[in-house]
Structure 1
Amino acid sequence: MTAIASWPGRAEDWLDDRGKGAWIAAMVLGFIFFWPVGLALLAYMIWGKRMFGKSCNRSHRSHRHAWAAHQPSGNAAFDAYKSDMLKRLEDEQSAFTDFLKRLREAKDKAEFDQFMDDRARRRADEARSVEPSM
């Protein structure tokens, strides 16, 4: 009996892990296959605060963890290590972001140079084809 009673909770957790899109997809499929199921899911999402609440929002969970990372633990040595490690990770993230920016700029420049070369080649071909042959 407990396995049967716990499947709605497991299904709810499974849908919560996948976000609002999974809830909406389940509702649409419910309407397609058996409309009362879709209607029940819609009612549950609205009145159970699933549609507009933060229980399906993954970013809410990540903000909670980010906030906890900056809270002191009470151990001075650990807090110093943690702040040093967070600073190092922020520096690495900044360096990686700069690297990606330079990579995108190099790719854009290469594509633009190729475009300009192709354009010059086309104009030269057009000029040769227009010249009168003697």
Structure 2
Amino acid sequence: MDRMMTTTKSCMIKPAWTPATIGLMVLGFVVFWPLGLAMLAYILWGDRFEGMFRDAKDQWRGSPLKGAFDQMSNSTGYARTGNVAFDDYREAELKRLEEERAKLDEMRAEFDNFLRELRRARDQEEFDRFMANRGRNTGGAEPAPL
């Protein structure tokens, strides 16, 4: 049991040209071709994935964008500036803008309902006109059922 705890991570399927990996690749192409391509990529470059992941993680840690994303992750999306008056003003303005957006969303929903009713009325009028013309064209007699 002690040996299990001290071993490093290992994959059940190694990234190499073995019968198992070839079979999985073929099965992947048969089932859904992107799975086959993913398996092929794993066979070719699977031993490098851990290093590539580590390199990408190191680059992200040193990136100037990381700080910007971290600042935007708080609840308001903006970091406090330290100036209480400005922060209070900004919060009040953001609240006002959110209320304005809610009003606009409500107006948009009302307008969508109006357009839906307008289309329904137009469709009903066109259907009534069709039925009236149909009755005139057949001489008042109903056509035989199909």
Normalising by structure 2, we get a TM-score of: 0.45
Larger proportion of helix: 1
Normalising by structure 1, we get a TM-score of: 0.48
Which has more radius of gyration? Answer: 2
Using CA pairs below 8 Å that are at least 6 residues apart, which structure has the higher relative contact order?
A: 1
